[in-house]
Amino acid sequence: MTGTEEPTGAAHAVGGSTGPLAGRVALVTGAAQGAGRGYARALASAGACVVVADRFADAGEETVGLIEKDGGTARFCHLDVTDEASAQGAVAFAMAEFGRLDVLVNNPNRYRDTTYTPLAQMTTEHWDTTMAVMVRGTFLLCKAAVPELARSPCPAIVNHTSSAAYGVRNWLDYGTARGAVIAMTKSLAKELASLGIRVNALSVGSMAAEAIALGVLEREEQMTGTPEFRMQLIGRVATEDDVAGPVVFLASDASRYMTGQTISYDGGKFFLG
């Protein structure tokens, strides 16, 4: 199919009856917290049925609970983004639960177990793990999802990246991985256009949950008071709610004439100076 025919089993999807994503199904990876949780909640609020995929079951189920509390539809699926069978299983889970797949949001992250590390101190294991999660993980989910996305009349892939792609001192692995995702987005957009699948990236600045996990912020109320986060022109780090608008835009028909692009959504961080 070329993105113009209704997929078999589409009636399985429920979701919201209104909204720009009503009746569609989205798979969001890394959806247990931070930007991923924000993406999942936003897509559900826009009417989509959401598969919350993550390796952290308790936090993932919490995301599902928040979506359901808001009146949305979501299911949790355990996912190891570095494992090809697990990636295939997440897509199969979405099809079994909802009968279709329209949107893939790739948000693989490892900020629960990463730190700022100078080159001289970075181990090959540290480097390889970051690449496996962020680059391999994005690749594996795209590979698994494309056959089902191609059957959707409105398919979209949104890849999470970061302003770190443009260079961060003492965070070589993270910045390199984020840059690779931008390059992957452009290549996939060219390759998948014939299938009707749009592929875009969302480059987000510092997230509150990420900063706390890294130890840069000890408490959320400190988010506006440290030099690290005065780097945003807007003067604070991003919250889960901040990422809602752009991910819905990229996943919906509002961006139907847009592919291969990276939206910088970083509070003006990249332009400060």
First to last CA, the chain: 48
Q: Are 161 and 181 in contact (CB under 8 A)?
A: yes
Catalytic-role residue among 111, 174, 257, 265: 174
214 part of a folded domain: no
- DSSP H or E run through 198: strand 198-204
199 part of a folded domain: yes
Q: What is the pLDDT of residues 65-108, one digit of tens each?
A: 999 999 999 999 999 999 999 999 999 999 999 999 999 999 99
Please say if 111 is a catalytic residue: no
104 part of a folded domain: yes
3 part of a folded domain: no
Domain of residue 266 covers: 10-206+240-271
Q: Using the structure block, give the residue that is written with the tokens 């919906």.
A: 252
Query: Looking at residue 164, what is its pLDDT?
Result: 82
CB atoms within 10 A of CB 233: 13
Q: How many domains does the chain have?
A: 1
150 part of a folded domain: yes
Query: Looking at residue 69, what is its pLDDT?
Result: 98
CATH number of residue 175's parent domain: 3.40.50.720
Query: Looking at residue 9, what is its pLDDT?
Result: 42
Quick check: pTM over 0.85? yes
- Kindly list the averaged pLDDT for each block of 10 residues, start to end, along the chain of length 273: 44 70 98 93 98 97 98 98 99 99 94 73 94 98 99 98 84 93 99 99 72 47 48 70 91 98 78 47
